[in-house]
Chains A and B, each alone.
Chain A
């Protein structure tokens, strides 16, 4: 026998299921009016400093089928790399946003400010990125990933540097499709599978 550990174990995850919108984005499910507005409706308020951008994309399953029921969340700092709650953070940047794949087309859209670089644990900088978290029916534990930008210098980012198969780095990089517009398609499984994180 040994001494017992006094730490607890994390509660197991379960799938968010097909009706996740009821609890998280009630108006999407048809529950208008239960709250004044859905939580995390906007990543930014009017007047946020920096470049306003729109990221559009889809979440596809292992067969390439674009899912109509995925829900995503994003978390990011302001244009100067400061997260909400940090001293000097832009008060117009909420940092957090919740958005769903469209029920008809499967397209999602995130309107936000381009994030600044943030410090890495080793004292260097991480390239500008947005953390995302994806849940849906059939996803048993929420999937963590990140959106980087093709028009930023990603060459010294510590996370991207850890990806052994270099072509896979591309799965984390949003492609510029216009001024302030980016495309970021997510593939859960199979060809072009997005890099998911355990952090």
Chain B
């Protein structure tokens, strides 16, 4: 409740277009009428807070959390790390970050995933953590495999990790995906390509980060996340007309 000022209106130019014939499902799931744009209110400026005490010790360790530490998941061991910031460049501390992903073979542990790559008995595929006081977070996981999906004739998702972030207000709510540096499937992916500016797709591609890689243990990829900020001017929070 300490934040002040209205949320900065979303710059839709950085986001995907809602309707994209190359991503067929979006054609019937995108509003065809304009969104109603308004200044945020108390409803959008407040949001749920989650405490570090709700986390289990292995919640941010996808290599071990499914088996409760009994046996590690198969795959290329990686550290996914980064920082959650707002548009003003301020860290977003104590905010919940949730991730989910396919296993090393590209298979999800989900009732609806019937891809014949096998499930890994030691891999669940979800994790969560809360950013520290400076907005930093870390997950230990395995690099997910690419997987095929029904869209055009022969469609494959690049390796990716799904990410959900809360921020401190409901209007900051964001779900996105992290891609991996050097993956040739990114350029062929119609979901990545729903973002029409290549520069903004690049902001979803995590670079290899050897400064955080641990010798003989895991590689590291860095993924920073920027959430909407709050307007802060000397003229904010004054009655209209003054």
Listed in ascending order, the chain A residues whose CB lies under 8 Å from chain B are 6-24, 26, 29-31, 34-36, 39-40, 61-63, 65, 67, 69, 73, 75-77, 83-86, 94-96, 103, 118-123, 126, 129, 131, 133, 135-144, 146, 158-159, 162-163, 188-190, 193-199
Bound CA span A22–B59, Å: 14
Does A83 lie within 8 Å of B176, measured CB to CB?
A: no
The answer to whether B135 has its CB under 8 Å from any CB of chain A is no
B38 and A118 contact, CB distance less than 8 A? no
- Inter-chain CA distance A12–B205, complex, in Å, is 11
Chain B binding surface SS class: loop
- Contacts A10-B11, A121-B39 given; indicate if A40 touches B204 (C-beta within 8 A): no
Query: Number of contacts between A and B (CB, 8 Å)?
Result: 261
Out of A8, A86, A94, name the residue touching B87 (CB < 8 Å). Answer: A8
A contacts with B: majority SS: loop
Residue positions of B touching A, CB distance < 8 A: 1, 6-7, 9-12, 14-18, 20, 23, 25-33, 35-44, 46-50, 56, 59, 65-66, 85-89, 96, 98-100, 108-113, 124-126, 128, 162, 164, 170-171, 173-177, 191-192, 194-195, 200-201, 203-204, 224-229, 239-240
State whether B126 touches A141 (Cβ < 8 A): no
A123 touches B239 (CB 8 A): yes
Apart from the given pairs A22-B109, A137-B25, 14 other A-B contacts in the complex at a CB distance below 8 Å: A8-B85, A9-B226, A14-B177, A15-B23, A23-B164, A24-B98, A35-B59, A62-B29, A84-B48, A118-B42, A121-B41, A136-B29, A198-B37, A199-B41
